[in-house]
Amino acid sequence: MKKIVLIIMVFLGVAACKTNPFTGQKVLNFYPNSQIFPTAFAQYDQFLGENKVITGTDDAKMITKTGQRIAAAAERWLTANGYPGYLKDYKWEYNLVNDETVNAWCMPGGKIVFYTGILPICKGETGVAVVMGHEVAHALADHGAQRMSAGTLQQLGAVAGNVVIQDEQKRHIFNQAYGIGSQVGVMLPFSRSHETEADRIGLQIMAIAGYNPDEAAELWKRMQANSGGSAPPEFLSTHPSNETRIANLTEWAPLARQEAAKFGVTSFQ
């Protein structure tokens, strides 16, 4: 039986590598959108049902507007780079939730939540675009799905013989990978490499959407000043350190402008 598990693990590992359009690298991900999105959408709706969603205010409208611009920019970039239809199963949604937690997240398929607690640090639409770009980048690059894949391999290894991943198990793995429960503000931190990747992709997308990429470093300076040493959950990774992150974003901002120029975007707000 052990042998069978091993064979399946190897099969999954080989057959299920997917190319990340943003880096061109192959990554372990054997969960197609069709398997993850329904779970994500259900979790998202459940979350909204259990939390206070703000609608109709200027802030709520700003979240929606910024999200739409970021999503449109992502679509343009993906189409221009040979990935038309990459977002076809996405069902974008942008919600503002009344909670003091300094956080925001994007679940697979474009399901976004901003907490009111992060708005003072965003200091307006461009700051929101920085965070939005970063969170959307995690989703576009399938970071959660990669973590699910890794988690599944671990489970397969742990539960020898139980080679069929049941729905219940899949949900469990999903929750482990995303950490979204009914509890507000709980989103597991991503790994250092995923954080850095999301920063870089997010910066490009925000620039293509017409937002000033120089603001990204400024936002993280405010985040650092606010956190007093402890970062909010999604950004919890003490790695990359705020210093590294700010240095990276400062270095990459001109590159993001160059990328935006390819799309005819040369002025930024």
**Cβ 30 to Zn ion, closest distance in Å?**
23
197/139 Cα distance (integer angstroms): 11
Q: Which stretch binds Zn ion (CB under 5 A): 74-82, 116-124, 161-169, 194-202?
A: 194-202
Q: Which helix (H) or strand (E) holds 17?
A: strand 17-19
Footprint (CB under 5 A) of Zn ion, residues 164-193: 190
Burial class (CB in 10 A: 0-12, 13-18, 19+), 11: exposed
Does 135 participate in catalysis according to the annotation? yes
Smaller CB distance to Zn ion: residue 115 or 156? 115
Residues in the chain: 269
State which residue, 139 or 156, has the beta carbon closest to Zn ion: 139
At its nearest, how many Å lie between Zn ion and the CB of residue 138?
A: 5
Total chain residues near Zn ion (CB under 5 A)? 3
Q: How far is the CB of 118 from Zn ion (least distance, A)?
A: 12
Which range binds Zn ion by CB under 5 A, 76-84, 116-124, 196-204, 245-253?
Answer: 196-204
Place of tokens 């979790």: 43
Give the shortest CB-99-to-Zn ion separation in angstroms: 18
3-state secondary structure 132-173: HHHHHHHHHCCHHHHHHHHHHHHHHHHCCCCCCCCHHHHHHH
CB-CB contact of 246 with 220 (8 Å) = yes
**What is the set of active-site residues?**
135
Q: What residue ranges bind Zn ion (CB under 5 A)?
A: 190, 195, 198
